[in-house]
């Protein structure tokens, strides 16, 4: 069964479940998440066999880490894998003021803090200390550098990249891994190019790559994923619905999808209908076929959405469907495709 399938990060030896829960929604992404609903979600994920949980200080400005840590603190610590991120320090708002409604970053009812970018050596070490306090846990398994890259930072990218390189940010990651404070280090990004650049600076165990290796787009396939496979760096696939357009919400890269993207999704949907396959099922199963991909992390808001995702992961998809996508020019000819129906795993 796919939930119990575990894959190895070759550099660290850490065993990573093939399916994980992304916890941005615990921080109130776009709309508030009730505390009881958050607890029920983590409990439902645990009961379903999910043992990988990903969070970040940025999610709700500390709210996601606090909620996830509280939900996991009484679970056996060696029984799950936990990842969080660095690159932003979460600072208190002046006077303890709170944002009403949804703020500019998309967080509904965030904690009375605000993020400050800091990719420096000392900033990363401070971020880890703060995360451990919010989580109430003594160990982080995977530490990702969050949202570094030109797409995120524009003209400020060179400044932040300098903090990682000459400012010692990458050195801090290596120290944390060497000292056993974390088992693995990587990047958590929406652009594969910056992960490629980082691999020239530091030995990454893995990269959480959101939206760039999906059923909709495979530009990262060559040379990036090929290089990851050869070097021992592995990929955690996130954003596999490309912000939701592959699950029916019309959004792509967090905005309304352009016409050409809508047209391609319509073509994918037509192929799905021809083979009686649900488009979200194909989107979830596709990335896991690549040998460089060790896990697929998805974010859900409640136990019902989680159950739907797990059903899509287990849904049988005939091999002929994947071949049809290639013959129609909807899938890169070199992209690995699932060899077996998940129901048979």
Query: Which active-site residues does the annotation give?
Result: 54, 59, 85
Which residue's structure tokens are 């990060």? 9
Q: Which two tokens stand for residue 174?
A: 């290596």
Alpha carbon distance 271, 323 (integer Å):
11
**Could you give the angle at which helices 169-178 and 157-164 cross, rounded to 10 degrees?**
40
Token pair listed for 290 = 């690549």
- From CA 90, how far away is CA 131, in angstroms rounded? 10
State how far the Cα of 160 lies from the Cα of 152, in Å rounded to an integer.
11
CA–CA separation, 196 and 186 (whole Å): 11
The torsion angles phi and psi of 31, rounded to 5 degrees, stand at -155, 155
User: Percentages helix, strand, coil for the chain, rounded to the nearest 5?
Assistant: 45, 20, 40
Do β-strands 113-117 and 88-92 pair in parallel, antiparallel, or remain unpaired? antiparallel
User: Which residues sit opposite 205 in a β-bridge?
Assistant: none
């Amino acid at each position: 069964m796919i939930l119990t399938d575990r894959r190895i990060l070759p550099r660290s030896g850490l065993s990573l479940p093939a399916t994980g829960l992304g916890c941005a929604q615990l921080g109130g992404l776009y709309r508030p998440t009730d505390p009881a609903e958050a607890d029920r979600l983590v409990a439902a994920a645990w009961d379903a066999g999910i043992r990988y949980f990903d969070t970040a200080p940025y999610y709700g400005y500390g709210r996601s880490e606090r909620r996830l840590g509280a939900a996991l603190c009484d679970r056996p610590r060696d029984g799950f894998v936990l990842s969080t991120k660095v690159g932003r320090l979460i600072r208190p708002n002046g006077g303890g003021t709170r944002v009403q409604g949804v703020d500019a970053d998309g967080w509904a009812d965030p904690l009375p803090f605000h993020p400050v970018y800091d990719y420096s050596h000392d900033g990363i070490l401070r971020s880890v200390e703060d995360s451990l306090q919010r989580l109430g846990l003594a160990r982080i398994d995977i530490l990702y550098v969050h949202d570094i890259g030109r797409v995120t930072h524009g003209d400020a990218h060179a400044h932040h990249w300098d903090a990682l390189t000459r400012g010692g940010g990458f050195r801090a990651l290596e120290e944390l891994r060497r000292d056993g404070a974390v088992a693995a280090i990587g990047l958590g990004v929406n652009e594969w190019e910056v992960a490629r650049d980082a691999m020239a600076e530091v030995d990454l165990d893995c990269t959480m790559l959101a939206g760039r290796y999906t059923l909709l787009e495979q530009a990262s396939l060559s040379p990036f994923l090929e290089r990851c496979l050869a070097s021992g760096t592995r990929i955690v696939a996130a954003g596999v619905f490309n912000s939701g357009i592959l699950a029916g919400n019309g959004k792509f890269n967090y905005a309304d999808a352009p016409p050409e993207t809508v047209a391609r999704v319509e073509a994918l949907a037509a192929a799905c209908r021809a083979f009686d396959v649900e488009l979200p099922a194909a989107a979830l199963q596709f990335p896991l076929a690549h040998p460089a991909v060790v896990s697929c992390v998805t974010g859900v808001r409640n136990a019902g959405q989680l159950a739907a995702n797990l059903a899509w992961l287990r849904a049988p998809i005939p091999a002929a469907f994947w071949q049809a996508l290639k013959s129609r020019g909807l899938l890169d000819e070199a992209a690995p495709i699932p060899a077996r129906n998940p129901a048979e795993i």
